[in-house]
Structure 1
Amino acid sequence: MNELSRRSLLAGSGGLLMLATTPGTASAAATTVAGAGATGASRTSAISQGTALVHADLHNHTLMSDGDGDPARAFASMRDAGLDVAALTDHTTLFAIEGLSQSEWNRTGQLADAANVPGVYTALRGFEWSHPLLGHVNVWYTGGFTDLGGSSSMSKLYDWISRTGGIGGFNHPGRELLRFNNFRYDAALREQMVGLEMFNRGDDYLFDGWSSGQSSPLTACLNAGWRTGLTGVTDEHGTEWGYPEGKGRTGVWAVENTRNGVLAALRDRRFFATRVSGLRLDASASGVRMGGSLPFARGDVRFVVDLDRGPEWAGKPLNIQVLRPGTTAPSVADVIETQAGRVTEFTVPLDLEDGPWVVLRVSDPSQANASPGPAGHPCNDWGVAYSSPWWLSA
């Protein structure tokens, strides 16, 4: 389908999304999907109740930093493209050189407020703290911003986020040389650093830097102690916000499509990373939803995975890889063959002595990973999605 016809289809479609309710709890709010795509799965989970899926892109740029597009067009473009949640996160640098000024920060807030329609479309203002060596960090849900003049190190940035009560995420992890001081852990920020980008633009960051002797960003981050969920983002720098297929996005399981509803889901790590539009991934481990803690140190864990992308992918062969801590790359405890459009159940023994976290990676075994890891590694195929982790506790 060409770009013009896809735009027409997306802009002309839509519909009501009713969030499911859990017996004995308050009813979830009705939500209108801004522009449901021509293909894609239902927003209702086949295995859990009380939330519905909203498609999000939390990392985008405009002319206010190093993007090409008019910021006044960005939120409308992402809504027309079928996204339900969208953020503008222009860079903050030093002295606003190719980065946000105070007036531009204010304008971003005005644009987000004008585009935000509670229950229909969530528009967010954020910023990307950008250090050329340490790395880039997205920050959302703050009233102000900080740059390299005010926060010149990871510790100063963490202090700023802690004071303001915002949330943050590690961007394109591994691209910059020092990798957030190799993901040095700060326990005070554990709850506020909610995200790690696994898909950025068209790239899968699982093995980024591995060929040059670095460890997987996923293992480096989670082994360090961070409890991040996993995201996918477009990181748009052009003018096609929301439209390019094959770039990252995040599926968020929200009680309601509002700023508070999305914030609650992000804080609970109730989301997944993908780089295909219209994908639905929901998963539980021994009854605990992705992003949660498993209250035992060892034992057999029963996974239930809902995986769908609508009629276009019905019956498509996929793999579910059970990722566990490793050194330079994650280990793989099991690989389960499945198909899109079905609920898959399987059991895997887990032991806290092998490491505290587990992640599910969904892949297409018919395509190769453009950034492979060790020879023969099961994740050297094409990544479709990542669940947020679960954490074992003693």
Structure 2
Amino acid sequence: MGRRALLSSAGGLLMLAAVPGTARAAQTVQAGSAVPQFAASRSSRLTQGTTLVHADMHNHTVMSDGDGSAQAAFGSMREAGLDVAALTDHATLFAIDGLSSGEWNTQAQLADAANDPGQFTALRGFEWSSPLEGHINVWNTGDFADLLKAPGPGNLYNWLAARPAGLASFNHPGREPGRFNEFAFRPAVLEQMVGLEMFNRTDDYLFEGWSAGRPSPLVVCLNSGWRPGLTGVTDEHGTTWGFHEGKGRSGLWVTENTRAGVFEAMRARRSFATRVSGLRVDATADGVRMGGALPIASGDVRFLVDIDRGPEWAGKPLRVQVLRPGTQVPTVVEVVDTVSGAVADLTVPLDAADGDWVVLRISDPSAANGTPGPAGHACNDFAVAYTSPWWLRP
């Protein structure tokens, strides 16, 4: 029986993956019941004018290679506690195990029916899918492009540039061998390429491919000139959308929880990647919010980092690592210990001559990175979150 003939309900039991340091690790939850919520405030201790929403922008259904009915997906994600959710089924050659035009229209209808401005933002998108070059999510376009319309990343960038409202993300970077033609830079879509997945499912992609002799996807992407926000996603292919602890998700700082508000936050790169539910992360560098530009050539930069996951993580030891450009992996120029519920305060000398970007990684020092990099690297511990980069613009 083909996937298009399968209709799966959202019932059944889901065993949540273990997350270091949480008492909820490995508990069993009935899919469709509410996931326990955390009490971390949605308001930043550092900035004003925006509210944190929890988002998952990468999910699949039976309309491509998922197992679940698209009719159940948005309801499941809202019930699981997400504030923003997208369906992004694969766009493949001749709709083989991928979206058809009819299904594309159906997803729009489902998203419109589920969308609840101010409370829950439901989005339709698609995942351009090349088995060699990589996968790219696209949102906010009226049509979609498969490998017939756009047989390579460059063709997709041309297609996207003709739809300036469209936004896109590099998905699970490094999983496919071509890695978007090694992240070959296209200035025409610089502002539209708003995402780089650092967490996909349970995986940290910082050192993806390192064991095979390839450089970090983060380093290659940012050194090539791209300026994406950093994100996490579940990339759900089952029937339990949203009900996963330990899988990727994103935090977005929005002026309002609407489609317009979500897309504005994505364009501003006011996002962080995490794989921990209920986490709040906000960060500034000399008062500039993550995702922004620092108008300096060199000098000391003061970072403030607001990290909180509510009472269950109160006082939990964490680390803030300052990542700077390297040729193969990021250079870690500072590591500071902190705890959940605190604002970390650190001052770091930066020089644009060493590279034009800086990223903060928040980690749990009590657990190991499942995909480690070079021996002794500071990021061989368990990543909890990544801020979006800042760019030095003298």
So what's the TM-score if we normalise by structure 1? 0.92
Superimposed CA distance per residue, residues 99-141 of structure 1 (whole angstroms, 9 cap, x where no aligned partner) = 0000000000000000001101000000000001000000001
Per the alignment, residue 381 of structure 2 pairs with 381
Superimposed CA distance per residue, residues 3-36 of structure 1 (whole angstroms, 9 cap, x where no aligned partner) = 33685444xxxxxxxxxxxxxxxxxxxxxxxxxx
Is 2:29 the partner of 1:4? yes
Q: Distance in 2 between matches of 1:50 and 1:381?
A: 34
Task: Give, in angstroms, the shift of residue 39 of structure 1.
Answer: 1.8
Is 2:116 the partner of 1:117? yes
Query: Which 4+ stretches in 1 moved above 2 angstroms?
Result: 1-10
Task: Give, in angstroms, the shift of residue 358 of structure 1.
Answer: 0.1
Per the alignment, residue 16 of structure 2 pairs with none
Residue type matched to 1:282 in 2?
A: D
Superimposed CA distance per residue, residues 307-365 of structure 1 (whole angstroms, 9 cap, x where no aligned partner) = 00000100000000000000110000100000000111110000000000000000000
Q: Give the SS at the match of 1:323.
A: strand
Per the alignment, residue 296 of structure 2 pairs with 296
Superimposed CA distance per residue, residues 210-229 of structure 1 (whole angstroms, 9 cap, x where no aligned partner) = 11111000000000000001
Q: Indicate if the aligned counterparts of 2:34 and 2:79 stay in contact, CA closer than 8 A.
A: no
Per the alignment, residue 25 of structure 1 pairs with none
Per the alignment, residue 28 of structure 1 pairs with none
Q: Distance in 1 between matches of 2:74 and 2:31?
A: 18
Q: Give the SS at the match of 1:382.
A: strand
Q: Distance in 2 between matches of 1:8 and 1:214?
A: 42
Per the alignment, residue 305 of structure 1 pairs with 305
Per the alignment, residue 16 of structure 1 pairs with none
Per the alignment, residue 163 of structure 2 pairs with 164
Task: Give, in angstroms, the shift of residue 199 of structure 1.
Answer: 0.1
Q: Indicate if the aligned counterparts of 2:303 and 2:346 stay in contact, CA closer than 8 A.
A: yes
Is 2:270 the partner of 1:274? no
Residue type matched to 1:201 in 2?
A: R
Per the alignment, residue 217 of structure 1 pairs with 217
Q: Indicate if the aligned counterparts of 1:68 and 1:239 stay in contact, CA closer than 8 A.
A: yes
Q: Distance in 2 between matches of 1:6 and 1:345?
A: 40
Q: Distance in 2 between matches of 1:5 and 1:361?
A: 33
Q: Indicate if the aligned counterparts of 1:135 and 1:171 stay in contact, CA closer than 8 A.
A: yes
Q: Distance in 2 between matches of 1:9 and 1:243?
A: 9
Per the alignment, residue 106 of structure 1 pairs with 105
Superimposed CA distance per residue, residues 116-168 of structure 1 (whole angstroms, 9 cap, x where no aligned partner) = 01101000000000001000000001011000000001111001111112010
Alignment map for 1:188-337 (pairs within 5 Å): 188-337=188-337
Is 2:75 the partner of 1:76? yes
Task: Give, in angstroms, the shift of residue 45 of structure 1.
Answer: 0.6
Residue type matched to 1:3 in 2?
A: T
Task: Give, in angstroms, the shift of residue 38 of structure 1.
Answer: 2.3
Residue type matched to 1:239 in 2?
A: T
Per the alignment, residue 84 of structure 2 pairs with 85
Alignment map for 1:175-186 (pairs within 5 Å): 175-186=175-186
Q: Indicate if the aligned counterparts of 1:40 and 1:277 stay in contact, CA closer than 8 A.
A: no
Per the alignment, residue 14 of structure 1 pairs with none
Q: Indicate if the aligned counterparts of 1:67 and 1:238 stay in contact, CA closer than 8 A.
A: yes
Q: Distance in 2 between matches of 1:227 and 1:39?
A: 31
Q: Distance in 2 between matches of 1:309 and 1:41?
A: 5
Per the alignment, residue 15 of structure 2 pairs with none
Is 2:140 the partner of 1:145? no
Q: Distance in 1 between matches of 2:214 and 2:281?
A: 30
So what's the TM-score if we normalise by structure 2? 0.92
Q: Give the SS at the match of 1:95.
A: helix
Q: Distance in 2 between matches of 1:233 and 1:98?
A: 21
Show structure 2 runs of 5+ residues with no match: 1-23
Q: Give the SS at the match of 2:195.
A: strand
Superimposed CA distance per residue, residues 142-201 of structure 1 (whole angstroms, 9 cap, x where no aligned partner) = 011000000001111001111112010000000000100000000111100000000000
Show structure 1 runs of 5+ residues with no match: 11-36
Q: Distance in 2 between matches of 1:95 and 1:330?
A: 40
Q: Distance in 2 between matches of 1:361 and 1:206?
A: 10
Q: Distance in 2 between matches of 1:8 and 1:66?
A: 25
Q: Give the SS at the match of 2:231.
A: strand
Q: Indicate if the aligned counterparts of 2:127 and 2:137 stay in contact, CA closer than 8 A.
A: yes
Per the alignment, residue 26 of structure 1 pairs with none
Q: Indicate if the aligned counterparts of 1:40 and 1:279 stay in contact, CA closer than 8 A.
A: no
Q: Give the SS at the match of 1:303.
A: strand
Per the alignment, residue 43 of structure 2 pairs with 44
Q: Distance in 2 between matches of 1:359 and 1:242?
A: 27
Residue type matched to 1:153 in 2?
A: G
Superimposed CA distance per residue, residues 265-287 of structure 1 (whole angstroms, 9 cap, x where no aligned partner) = 00000010000000000000000
Per the alignment, residue 14 of structure 2 pairs with none
Q: Distance in 2 between matches of 1:97 and 1:135?
A: 17
Per the alignment, residue 365 of structure 1 pairs with 365
Q: Structure 2 vs 1, CA of residues 160 and 48 (structure 1 numbering), >3 Å: closer, same or farther?
A: same
Q: Distance in 2 between matches of 1:366 and 1:87?
A: 33
Q: Give the SS at the match of 1:90.
A: strand
Residue type matched to 2:65 in 1?
A: D
Q: Distance in 2 between matches of 1:169 and 1:38?
A: 28
